[in-house]
Amino acid sequence: MRLKDKVCLITGGAAGIGKATAIRFAQEGAKVILCDLVEEAGVQTAQEIGGVFYQVNVADRQQVQTWVDDVFQKFGRIDVLVNNAGVLRDGLFVRVKEGQLVKQMSESDWDLVIDVNLKGTFNCSQAVSPYMINQGGGVILNATSVVGLDGNFGQTNYVATKAGVIGMTKVWARELGRYNIRVNAVAPGVILTPFHDKVTTAEQLELWQENTPLKKHGHPMHIAAAVKFLIENDFITGETIDINGGLWMR
């Protein structure tokens, strides 16, 4: 139980991959602190695992800083940050029919996804880093996606954020390594979560399963296990691990 008594922060921890990670950490004896915008589900998850919940919008720098400062004041240290919070607003970059512009991705959809997925990761990581430096080390784990490496139809905004997170992971690994802070990322493929249920059809899921070498979908616990591995292995930094059942290989 290498996570025993470690103070672990998880954004977007109310459901899906975030909740699975929180459960895994709690099983390993960690002190788990969740944040999410969805208060009811967040409180329920925290109660289930004996953790602590904060309602935080990761896109709001002041909310993030207040959250991180309060956690440090109460627990005296911050060992792990998992940047899991994310949103989708899919749409074509531009749609043209018979030479006429029909529709394009809106500025509001672009801004929202950038603010939560990219800026939110930046905000949280920047808030915890000084505490980790002063205590002699820590781990930051970022959630990206396979589409951040390969792109995906209709996801200009989402892909931009996930590619950006991969880039930031490498930069922070280089900059923070001297302080014994490791920074890695996981790139999930098709993972069965309530998040995916909202944006995919049964036909899409069946097609993905058929095209996956392992002939099955991933589950949140697959990601949680990889997160735990990256946190415990103290000679891995700057890496992004694909977890997709072989659907994407490079």
pLDDT for the residue 2: 85
pLDDT for the residue 60: 98
How far is Cα 113 from Cα 120, in angstroms, rounded to an integer? 10
* DSSP state string for 87-125: ----B-SEEEETTEEEEE--HHHHHHHIIIIIIHHHHHH
Task: Report whether pLDDT(34) > 80.
Answer: yes
Residues 6+ apart with CB under 8 A from 53: 13, 14, 33, 34, 35, 36, 39, 42, 43, 45, 46
Continuous H helices in the chain? 16-27, 39-49, 61-75, 107-113, 120-135, 147-150, 156-176, 194-199, 202-211, 220-232
Task: Report whether pLDDT(40) > 90.
Answer: yes
Task: Report whether pLDDT(249) > 80.
Answer: no
Alpha-carbon torsion, ordered 239, 31, 72, 227, to 10 deg: 10
How far is Cα 35 from Cα 11, in angstroms, rounded to an integer? 5
**Start-to-end Cα distance in the chain:** 34
Main-chain dihedrals φ then ψ at residue 172, nearest 5 degrees: -65, -35
What is the CATH code of the structural domain delimited by 7-243?
Answer: 3.40.50.720
pLDDT for the residue 197: 62
Q: One of 54, 131, 158, 179 is an active-site residue; which one?
A: 158
**Catalytic: 179?**
no
Among the ranges 38-47, 200-209, 212-221, 238-247, which has the highest mean pLDDT value? 38-47
Mean confidence (pLDDT) of the chain: 93
pLDDT for the residue 246: 79
* HSE toward the beta carbon, residue 103, CA cutoff 13 A: 7
**Higher pLDDT pick, 177 / 218:** 177
pLDDT for the residue 150: 86
How far is Cα 86 from Cα 143, in angstroms, rounded to an integer? 9
pLDDT for the residue 195: 63
pLDDT for the residue 180: 98
pLDDT for the residue 136: 98
Structural domain boundaries in the chain: 7-243
How far is Cα 104 from Cα 159, in angstroms, rounded to an integer? 16
Mean pLDDT of 26-42: 97
Q: Which two tokens stand for residue 8?
A: 């672990």
pTM for the full predicted model: 0.93
Q: In 3D, which of 248, 173, 185 has the Cα closest to residue 218?
A: 248
Mean pLDDT of 113-129: 98
Q: In 3D, which of 164, 172, 66 has the Cα closest to residue 129?
A: 172
pLDDT for the residue 198: 62
**Higher pLDDT pick, 198 / 22:** 22
Q: In 3D, which of 3, 148, 12, 144 has the Cα closest to residue 20?
A: 12
